[in-house]
Amino acid sequence: MGKLDGKVAVVTGGGSGIGEAAVRLFADDGASVVVVDLDAETADAAAGAVGGRAVAGSVADPATWDVITETANGLGGLDLAYLNAGVYGWDGPIEDLPLDVYERTLAANIGGVVLGVRAVVPVMQANGGGAIVATASVAGIVPFAPNPLYTLTKQAVTGFVTALAPNLVGYGITFNAVCPGVVDTPMTAGALHGLDASDLGFTLMRPVDIAQVVLDLALGDGTGRSVAVLPDRDPIEWTFPVWSDLSQA
């Protein structure tokens, strides 16, 4: 028996990269998977490969989340939500930042997580609990100077996870963040602008290795964690100070 037998999982950004690897891993472990992607063709392909359901749309649109939760409920509820969709943003001069890129980056990387949690918590609460994992980045822990906008959004995710997780404990819902280094995905390929990762000192990690950490976080009891995943190292849990630490100092 798989660890996710009889469970329903949602994966955003599930048409490629880490999301697609998670879709396959969750399905192999027994889950019925709802695959969400902005691109309908890739969503259909990833869902079709595992006998899942596809939803095409923007995770920054509340209407998309209505469809996602309806689809999950049609499969029996919702046990695991992997909020993975995101974009790389802007690595050019800040004074040249196009407003549409700024808005799209915040909408996907922050809005997709906030609206996702807003949508899935009531469904999980009705089911007696569940697990939410969001994709942040090592940039969500340590600022990444080549892309401050991306850093902004990913630090927003890790902060949101740390602050919100205690409020979900009473619902039986865990909320954690996975913080990968550089992963071999289409987004990374675009960010490299045709350069070789090794020439820049980066070791590319496999998407499936990140997906495995996501599954481990979802199946574990801990909550409010931000876990860094780096090449050739065990996952590292990063502990942020919380309000009580300061108020009791």
The span from the CA of 23 to the CA of 47, in Å, is: 8
Tokens matching residue 171:
């619902």
Question: Is residue 162 within a helix (H) or strand (E), and if so which, with residue range?
Answer: helix 148-168
DSSP 8-state class, residue 113:
H
Mind telling me the catalytic residues?
A: 150
Nearest Cα neighbor of 208 from 184, 234, 233 is 184
Q: Are strands 32-37 and 226-229 parallel, antiparallel or unpaired?
A: unpaired
**Residue in the structure block whose two tokens are 């798989």:** 2
The span from the CA of 69 to the CA of 170, in Å, is: 21
The span from the CA of 215 to the CA of 94, in Å, is: 36
Is residue 137 within 8 Å of 86, Cβ to Cβ? Answer: no
Long-range contacts of 116-119 (CB under 8 A, 24+ apart): 116/12, 116/59, 116/65, 116/81, 116/83, 117/81, 117/83, 117/164, 117/175, 118/65, 119/62, 119/65, 119/66, 119/68, 119/69
